[in-house]
Structure 1
Amino acid sequence: MNADYTLLLQTVRHWIPVHEEEESVISTLFEHKQLAANEFFLKAGDICHSVGFVVEGLLRYYILDDGQEHTYDFSPERQFTCNYESFLTKTPSVRFIQAIEDTSLLVISYDNLQRLYDRLQEGQKFGRLVAEELFVGMLQKLTSFYNETAEERYDTLLRSFPDLQERVPQYVIASYVGIKPQSLSRIRAQRAGKNY
């Protein structure tokens, strides 16, 4: 089994035990996919047909509002990526999922995901636990946006994604925090002990 599938198995085992005979089931249901920087995993208006597991690289989620991009999440290595609303309901997405850097994924289709749930002894539990973690994460982000200052949201971002500053353009981080790039520059300068 190659290193990509080994990484996927380690991540699945975070939630459930995987028996040796189940390893081949997982490896046959996922396929490799490569995205170049700025290429899309999903565009608004398209239906999300697969779930991706990020082996290497980084994706961002954003919506367009009057031509303005509003970034609301990221998927770095060892995380799953999907617009679950579109994926589960088979309706067009209103969100974009875009590679920030060259990204290598393992992807699974809706039908193959159902097979995974059925063929793994604890497959249904795996699906439930992943969904619960995603749900809690989205609620925390929503609460953060309404209850935290821009500085607090920036701190939360750095705790959640420690190496993001080196990998993501400043305007994307500013969009996630909910401020203008100039305001983010001031926050970063203050943290560095400079006067503005």
Structure 2
Amino acid sequence: MREKIVHYFSKIALLSEDEASAIKNSAVVKNYAKGTVLVHEGQFSKETFFVLKGLIRQYNLTEGEEKTTAFFTEEQWVMALNNLEGDNPSPYYWVCEEDSVLLLGNDDSAQIIFNQFPRLESLARKIVENTFADYQQTILNYLTDSPEQRYLRLLESRPDLIQRIPQYQLASYIGVKPESLSRIRKRLTKKP
């Protein structure tokens, strides 16, 4: 599993043997059972996670109802971009929706590697920038697309996700009730 994180970094920039070895040797990899809550709303946490295997769901509670705001799968970072220092309480929950294998990270451990290998800090910055850009695009799509367009976009960009999550979570993610999602699916199957 540790090789996966080295492979991920290598796709961003060519790593020296020492850099690859430092990443691999410093990686903290943990297994989590389905249903494990990684972060609770209101919790202070400096942790970031890299999904090596599994599925993490991000949601808020609004008037007692879960509102799914993100799904993270293999080779995605789970991080609170508004709270990289860990000094603000989390506004959401992160929960494992499948048995998951995650790489754990935080700023303290990253600084140790950055001091030894300064080039890795710029790689980490690029990862945060890419993650932020992905979040921004997701928010823009959510604000401008209809629920049907959101569903179609998800079918196109992440078809595997549709098979991995329950319909009520999918409905919440695209901003509708499960009955409305059923109508959207039905309408789409009737289109030529």
| Alignment-derived partner of residue 7 in structure 2 | 10
| Alignment-derived partner of residue 20 in structure 2 | 23
1:26-83, CA deviations, whole angstroms, 9 ceiling, x for partnerless residues? Answer: 1232212121111112111112222211111100111111111111111101111122
Q: Distance in 1 between matches of 2:114 and 2:13?
A: 12
Say whether the 8 Å CA contact 2:44–2:87 is kept in structure 1: yes
Question: Kindly tell me: are residues 171 and 152 of structure 1, through their superposed partners in 2, closer, same or farther at Cα, counting changes over 3 Å?
Answer: same
Residues matched between the structures, number: 191
TM-score (norm 1): 0.90
CA RMSD between the two structures: 1.6
1:105-139, CA deviations, whole angstroms, 9 ceiling, x for partnerless residues? Answer: 11123211122333334212212211111111111
Unmatched tracts of structure 2, length 5 or more: none
Deviates more, 1:171-180 or 1:151-160: 151-160
| Alignment-derived partner of residue 64 in structure 2 | 67
| Alignment-derived partner of residue 112 in structure 1 | 109
Q: Secondary structure at the match of 1:85?
A: coil
- Matched residue type, 1:176: Y
Q: Paired residue for 1:84, among 56, 81, 85?
A: 81
| Alignment-derived partner of residue 182 in structure 1 | 179
1:160-180, CA deviations, whole angstroms, 9 ceiling, x for partnerless residues? Answer: 322011110111111110011
Deviates more, 1:177-186 or 1:41-50: 41-50
| Alignment-derived partner of residue 157 in structure 1 | 154
Question: Kindly tell me: are residues 116 and 74 of structure 1, through their superposed partners in 2, closer, same or farther at Cα, counting changes over 3 Å?
Answer: farther
Unmatched tracts of structure 1, length 5 or more: none
Q: Distance in 1 between matches of 2:118 and 2:13?
A: 9
| Alignment-derived partner of residue 131 in structure 2 | 134
Q: Secondary structure at the match of 2:131?
A: helix
Question: Kindly tell me: are residues 119 and 16 of structure 1, through their superposed partners in 2, closer, same or farther at Cα, counting changes over 3 Å?
Answer: farther
Shift of 1:7: 0.9
Q: Distance in 2 between matches of 1:49 and 1:88?
A: 6
Sequence identity percentage: 30
Say whether the 8 Å CA contact 2:44–2:86 is kept in structure 1: no
TM-score (norm 2): 0.92
Question: Kindly tell me: are residues 93 and 21 of structure 1, through their superposed partners in 2, closer, same or farther at Cα, counting changes over 3 Å?
Answer: same
| Structure 1 runs (4+) greater than 3 angstroms displaced | none
* Residue 101 (str. 1) matches residue 91 (str. 2): no
